[in-house]
A and B are shown apart, each in its own frame.
Chain A
Amino acid sequence: MEFFSHQTNYPFMATRKVWYTLSAVLVIASIVSFFTRGLNLGIDFTGGISAQATFTRAVSVDEVRAKLAASGFHDPQVQNFGSSRDLVIRMPPEPSETAASIRAKLEPAVHSVDPGAQVRQLDLVGPQVGNELKTSAIWALSFTLLLIFMYIAFRFHTWRLSLGAILAVLHDPILVIGIFSVSQTEFDLPVVAAILAVIGYSLNDTVVVFDRIRERFESNRRLPPPTVLDQSINQTLSRTIMTKVVTSIVVVALLFLGGPVLKGFSEALMIGIIAGTYSSIYISSAIALDCGLNAEHLFPSANKAAVDELP
Chain B
Amino acid sequence: MRHRTTTPHFDAYVAAGGDLADEAAFWASARAGQPAPDFSLPRLEDGTQVSLAGLWRSRPLVMEFGSFT
A and B co-occur in one complex: no
B residues near A, CB below 8 A? none
